[in-house]
Amino acid sequence: MKNPLIITIGREYGSGGREIGQALAKRLGIAFYDKELITLAAKKSGLSDEFIASNEQRVRSGLMHSLAASSAYHTGFFANQYLPLAENIFIAQSQVIRTIADKESAVIVGRCADYVLEGRENTINVFIHAPIEARVKRIMALHGVDEAAAMKEIARSDKERGNHYFRYTDMKWGKAQNYDICINSALMGIEKTVEVLAQLAQIEERA
């Protein structure tokens, strides 16, 4: 028997990648993981959800120093107390991702899941992106902010995601060759993109 189908989705902020992942999971009748992963990982490592949520993508050169000075660093429960907090979070999340992949078919958004599951059979790695104009429009509508605020938020998030991905995988985020399929969600819109991915998943499942 084949192992469960896992679809990982990396995405640019404002590209609708998360919404596409949710709709895709629903369409295929499989599980969906995103922030849930944080919760699961938090439970595993004993850290609070809020602390992980606020730190897990803030991979900056100064982070390790500020963490070393923070009380959370000294009071948290660690898989390995000699590793910095961010590394412990990444390790805990990776364990959660592997556990999911062993037990059920799922769509997993973000968290370098493509890298964590590298070499696994029956895994499709997807990257969703969109031109900046389309993303700005989407963030303005979703968050009720003006163009300048949307632009700022997009630049900040893309940078964080890129840094996070590069730090843990040593690979460039958004490099086509790292994925099985990359789609500009603005080309066909969210719904049609889901359709294409669902067809692709079904082809892969039949193979």
The Cα 155–Cα 132 span in angstroms is 10
Q: Could you say whether residue 75 binds a copy of itself (CB under 8 A)?
A: no
DSSP state of 131: -
Q: Could you say whether residue 177 binds a copy of itself (CB under 8 A)?
A: yes
Using alpha carbons, select from 122, 136, 158 the residue that is nearest to residue 12: 158
Q: From 39-47, 59-67, 145-153, 192-200, give the range in contact with a copy of itself by CB under 8 A.
A: 192-200
Main-chain phi, psi angles of 95, to 5 degrees: -65, -40
Q: Could you say whether residue 199 binds a copy of itself (CB under 8 A)?
A: yes
With vertex at residue 135, the alpha carbon angle to CA 10 and CA 125, rounded to the nearest 5 degrees, is: 15
Subset of residues 123 to 142 that bind a copy of itself, contact rule: CB under 8 A = 124, 127, 129
Letters for 105-124 (x = contact with a copy of itself by CB under 8 A, - = none) are -------------------x
Give the nearest distance from C-beta 186 to a copy of itself in angstroms: 9
Counting beta carbons within 10 angstroms of the beta carbon of residue 58, is it exposed (0 to 12), middle (13 to 18) or buried (19 or more)? Answer: middle
| Residues at the interface with a copy of itself (CB under 8 A) | 12, 124, 127, 129, 174-177, 179-184, 187-188, 192, 195-196, 199-200, 203-204, 207
